[in-house]
């Protein structure tokens, strides 16, 4: 199985950027200086380079490489599909699935698609138990569905950590979510569907009418504590507390199903 990861590949192969679209040109000549301006324009992003230019702190992770076989006139042909996640750990997230005959181009194409699919993730302090007024969790309970997989994200107080299976955790971490309870149903062993379900849940926050209220209720525009990795123990405690309090099951290794009304 050729499942190598080479995060430097993209940098090595990337040719100098000559912007072709209107937005691309405006980014290149600094007429557009923030990704917010691009996203608010509502126009599709056709050049991944403009996202790299506006979000230089974007990190990239390949979540899955799958080989698929395709029948052609000459017999079977092998293809690879790479699910790639990009995020800045501070409210921006993108996911792309790239296909190619070889692994590296599949990852590269996935990364480009992920950048072109970048979204803003409105974070807040949505838990009534918290009230810290910083951006550390989802402002409200949201659900996302892709294929058979359904993921629910529920606001959690500061210090709980990301209570989720490995794939869901990676996506939430990349988006900058620090504390959240998650519940899942369906075949969460499908990494692509799981990833997309989380993405859709987070993206749904962009279409909610309470958006301005959340923003007003926050202390300032300062990002939440970036040292999220050090919260493992806190996450465990919060996990147990959550279990007892709500009598609900958390998702473990993506196998369990949890049903909750609403």
Contact residues: Zn ion, CB under 5 A: 125, 130, 132, 158
Distant-in-sequence, close-in-space partners of 67: CB < 8 Å, separation ≥ 6: 1, 2, 78, 79, 80, 81
Q: Which is nearer to Zn ion, 107 or 125 (CB)?
A: 125
Least distance CB 178 / Zn ion (angstroms): 9
Q: Which is nearer to Zn ion, 86 or 125 (CB)?
A: 125
> How far apart are the C-alpha atoms of 158 and 181, rounded to whole Å?
12
Q: Which is nearer to Zn ion, 105 or 159 (CB)?
A: 159
Q: Which is nearer to Zn ion, 125 or 228 (CB)?
A: 125
Least distance CB 29 / Zn ion (angstroms): 40
> How far apart are the C-alpha atoms of 211 and 262, rounded to whole Å?
21
Least distance CB 181 / Zn ion (angstroms): 13
Least distance CB 128 / Zn ion (angstroms): 10
Phi, psi (deg, nearest 5) at residue 98: -105, 140
> How far apart are the C-alpha atoms of 106 and 227, rounded to whole Å?
31
Q: How many residues does the chain have?
A: 262
Strands (DSSP E) along 6-138, which ranges?
A: 59-72, 75-87, 92-100, 119-120
């Amino acid at each position: 199985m050729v499942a190598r990861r080479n995060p430097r590949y993209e940098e090595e192969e990337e040719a100098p950027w000559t912007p072709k679209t209107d937005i691309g040109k405006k980014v290149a000549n600094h007429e557009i200086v923030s990704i917010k301006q691009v996203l608010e324009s509502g126009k599709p992003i056709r050049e991944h380079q403009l996202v790299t230019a506006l979000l230089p702190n974007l990190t990239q992770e390949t979540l899955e490489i799958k080989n698929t076989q395709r029948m052609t006139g000459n017999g079977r042909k092998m293809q690879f599909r790479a699910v790639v996640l990009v995020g800045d750990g501070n409210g921006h997230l993108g996911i792309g699935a790239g296909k190619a005959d070889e692994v590296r181009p599949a990852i590269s194409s996935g990364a480009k698609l992920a950048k072109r699919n970048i979204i803003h993730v409105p974070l807040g302090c949505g838990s009534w138990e918290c009230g810290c007024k910083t951006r550390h969790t989802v402002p409200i309970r949201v659900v996302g569905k892709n294929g058979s997989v359904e993921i629910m994200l529920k606001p959690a107080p500061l210090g709980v950590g990301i209570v989720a299976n490995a794939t869901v955790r990676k996506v939430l971490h990349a988006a900058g979510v620090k504390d959240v309870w998650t519940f899942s149903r369906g075949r969460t062993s499908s990494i692509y569907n799981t990833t997309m379900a989380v993405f859709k849940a987070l993206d749904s926050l962009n279409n909610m009418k309470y958006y301005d209220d959340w923003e007003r209720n926050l202390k300032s525009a300062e990002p939440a504590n970036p040292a999220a990795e050090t919260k493992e123990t806190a996450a465990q405690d919060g996990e147990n507390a959550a279990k007892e309090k709500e009598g609900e099951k958390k998702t473990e290794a993506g196998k369990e199903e949890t049903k909750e009304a609403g």
